[in-house]
Structure 1
Amino acid sequence: MKVIRWILGRIILVLDAVFSPRGIKRSEEKQLEANNKAQTMALYQFEACPFCVKVRREMKRQSVNIDLRDAKNNQQFRQELETGGGRVKVPCLRIEKEGNVQWMYESSDIIAYLEREFA
């Protein structure tokens, strides 16, 4: 089963690279504003997870550079996810606003949030 997951993961990554979406174009000022907003966020993810790929594609569409944290291979990020969010489940978007931290788990919710914040 592990081999099948690995093969499917590689296929997903190749297809994502081949059919990568285009990012939106913003003025320099608007892009700087989006970059500043993105600095308050981090996406905990696994590289080949299809739901994580879905969220990363939306990030590319919105032209935002959110910090990607590999919770599969990095024990520190995995521990942060479990301690802060309460469970090891990806994708998970960590959002820090005015000193408060919110952990958002569902890919559809994360995508809707990114569309609201950056579109």
Structure 2
Amino acid sequence: MKFIRWFLGRIILLLNFVFSPRGVKRSQEEQNTVNESAKNYALYQFEACPFCVKVRRSMKRQSVKFDIRDAKNNEQHRSELEAGGGRVKVPCLRIEKDGKTEWMYESSDIVAYLEKEFA
């Protein structure tokens, strides 16, 4: 079973690489504003998780880059996710705004949020 999951994960990553979406074209000033805003976000994820791939593809379509944290192989990121979000479930977007931290789970919710914030 572990081999099947590993193999399917590699297929997902290969297809994501081959069919990578194009990002939004912005002026340099607009992109700098987006980049500055993106410093308040972090995505906790597993590399080959299909739902995490969905969120990363949405990030690429919106031309936004967050700090991407591997909660599978990095024990520090895993413990941050569990302590802050309450559970080890990915994808999870950590949003820091006005001194408050929000943890957003569910890939569809994250994609909708990204489209609203960065479109």
Fold-level match, TM-score > 0.5? yes
Inter-partner Cα distance in structure 1 for 2:5 and 2:95: 30
Deviation at 1:6, TM superposition (A): 0.1
SS where residue 26 of structure 2 aligns? coil
What is the TM-score normalised by the length of structure 2?
0.99
* Deviation sequence 1:15-36 (CA, Å, 0-9, x none): 0000000000001111001001
* Equivalent in the alignment of 1:69: 69
* Deviation sequence 1:17-62 (CA, Å, 0-9, x none): 0000000000111100100111000000000000000000000000
* Equivalent in the alignment of 1:5: 5
Q: How does 1:71-86 map to 2 (within 5 A)?
A: 71-86=71-86
* Equivalent in the alignment of 1:57: 57
* Equivalent in the alignment of 1:109: 109
* Unaligned residue ranges in structure 2 (runs of 5+): none
User: Residue 30 in 1 paired to residue 41 in 2?
Assistant: no
* Deviation sequence 1:53-86 (CA, Å, 0-9, x none): 0000000000001110000000000000000000
SS where residue 101 of structure 1 aligns? strand
Which amino acid is 1:103 matched to? W
Identity %: 75
Inter-partner Cα distance in structure 1 for 2:37 and 2:74: 25
* Unaligned residue ranges in structure 1 (runs of 5+): none
* Deviation sequence 1:65-114 (CA, Å, 0-9, x none): 11100000000000000000000000000000010000000100000000
Inter-partner Cα distance in structure 1 for 2:35 and 2:114: 13
Q: Which runs of 4+ in 1 moved over 6 A?
A: none
Inter-partner Cα distance in structure 2 for 1:72 and 1:37: 26
Deviation at 1:9, TM superposition (A): 0.1
